[in-house]
Amino acid sequence: MRSLASLLLILAVLLGGCGLLPEEKDETVGWTANKLYAEAMDAMNDGAYDKAIKFFEKLEARYPYGRFAQQSQLEVAYAYYKQNEIASATAACDRFMRLHPNHPNVDYAYYLKGLALFNEDLGMFGSISDQDPSERDPKTARESFDAFKELVTRFPDSKYAPDAVKRLHYLVNALASHETHVADFYLRRGDYVAAAARAQDAIKTYPTAPANERALYIMVKAYDALGLNDLRDDAERVMRKNFPDSAYLNGQGKSKAWWRLW
């Protein structure tokens, strides 16, 4: 008991001593909005994103109605994006869009959100690996698609729209390929009805996607296994018309993966 009491006394002294430590000095005390913004941008340009975020947040808190406050919110989103903190970046973009739906730069918020999610999904300009992107969870790709679609729909003349359109084309291919990947899984498992249905849904939902070549081939194989010869022949006829040089039909194995374009 005496040892326990001594231990508790030591802990109390240590914890109490924490309050005696000098508080960290805030270097920004007395800074004007202009100085806070300038220092934050300098930190951003130097790649010191944590420091930049701290300055931008102080700026918004101290001068919420100043001309720099709204811009600071966008800069915070960009800083999180550069740090690859995707959840924080998209949350910051959502906050800006919610608070300032009519802001002149709200198109950039949509673009930045789409870009952050796009890069997280190893998109067009991300790392190339041996894994087909369609094999990953499509949730992020769908969220990126929604952000880019909202941008080009609401702001067709935005300077970010052309790049967003290119990324939308990629995402359509990714989502279509995911559907055919699932259909292929059903085919290999012997669930031919589900395989044909999933492949057909992919074609209807994404009619111009390159992945439709694979989807049609899955339909041919599934209908053949089910003994549905008329449906099999129809699917093969459509496939030969749209993909006359398909490696699937020529017995050469799989065609070049659609995502290996760069």
Looking at the fold, whether 93 and 110 belong to one and the same domain comes out as yes
Q: Are residues 56 and 108 in the same domain?
A: yes
Distance CA 28, CA 39 (A): 10
Q: Please, what is the angle between helix 229-242 and helix 212-226, to 10°? A: 160
Q: Is the pTM of this model over 0.95?
A: no
Q: What is the pLDDT of residues 72-114, one digit of tens each?
A: 999 999 999 999 999 999 999 999 999 999 999 999 999 999 9
What pLDDT shows up at residue 55?
Answer: 95
Q: Are 136 and 235 found together in one domain?
A: no
Residue scoring higher pLDDT (58 or 15): 58
Non-local CB neighbours of 183 within 8 Å, separated by 6+ positions: 194, 195, 196, 198, 199, 202, 215, 218
In a shared domain, residues 165 and 209: no
Any domain includes 144: yes
Whether the per-residue pLDDT at 138 is higher than 90: the answer is no
Distances (CA, A) of 80 to 53, 63, 93: 8, 21, 10
For 111-135, what is each residue's pLDDT tens digit? 999 999 998 755 433 443 445 554 5
At 24, is the pLDDT very low, low, confident or very high (cuts 50, 70, 90)?
low
State the residue range of the domain holding 187. Answer: 179-242
Q: Among the three residues 144, 172, 200, which one is the final residue of a domain in this structure?
A: 172
User: Using N-to-C axis directions, what is the helix angle for 106-120 and 86-99, rounded to 10°?
Assistant: 160
Domain boundary among 152, 172, 192: 172
How many domains would you assign to the chain?
2
- The backbone torsions φ and ψ at residue 65, rounded to the nearest 5 degrees and listed phi first, read -110, 10
Please, how many CA atoms are within 13 Å of residue 12, restricted to the half-sphere of its CB?
Answer: 6
Quick one: how far is CA 210 from the chain centroid? 21
- Which of the two residues, 65 and 147, has the higher pLDDT score? 147
> 94 is written with which tokens?
């959502």
